[in-house]
Amino acid sequence: MVERVVHSAADLEYAADLVTDEGQLAKAHAALHAGAPVVVDVEMVGAGITRRETVCRLRDAVAGPGLTRSAHAIRLAYEQVGPGALWVIGNAPTALEELLTLDAAPVLVIGLPVGFVGAVESKAALRESGLPAVSNVSEKGGSAVAAAALNALLYHPTSEETL
């Protein structure tokens, strides 16, 4: 996964910045190849994910008092897919923050929102949540990086493919 992320961003600093757990990645890999749904925060993340349909509800979402459009989209997606999905957040820190308030029981959260406002804090909250996760500690991230992380799981062969 680290190799794909470094390659997608052309940024070697991800080798030290990315936080992953091999056991969690193995479980997510198995769930993904067994058909677990993939939810993305923005269509750009979904466009970068190959070989798999994704759920993105941003077009249906509306902002409200104390609720960003991105956060509402996460609520809508959870209503659609329920527990056991893989969540890929590459753009909006508020989407990641909203996911952490839900009882989503994710297989994996790839939390790589980018930016100087809320991104570092939302990723730290993800790591502190105890949820199975991939994140990084800096402001870096984004759609291409988040999609690359999920694609690493998609393209890694299953045990049946290696026989």
**Range with the lowest mean pLDDT among 1-5, 134-138, 141-145?**
1-5
Catalytic residue among 7, 29, 33, 72: 7
Q: Report CA torsion sign: 112, 116, 118, 124.
A: positive
Q: Please give the pLDDT value at position 160.
A: 56
pTM over 0.95, yes/no = no
Please give the average per-residue pLDDT across 104-119, as a whole number.
Answer: 96
Q: Report CA torsion sign: 65, 105, 6, 55.
A: negative
**Whole-angstrom distance, CA of residue 74 vs CA of residue 76:** 5
Among 71, 56, 143, smallest CA distance to 101 is for: 71
Residue 162 has pLDDT above 50, yes or no: no
Whether residue 72 lies in the annotated active site: no
> Coil, strand, or helix at residue 22?
helix
Q: Please give the pLDDT value at position 50.
A: 85
Please give the average per-residue pLDDT across 74-100, as a whole number.
Answer: 97
Mean pLDDT (the chain) is 94
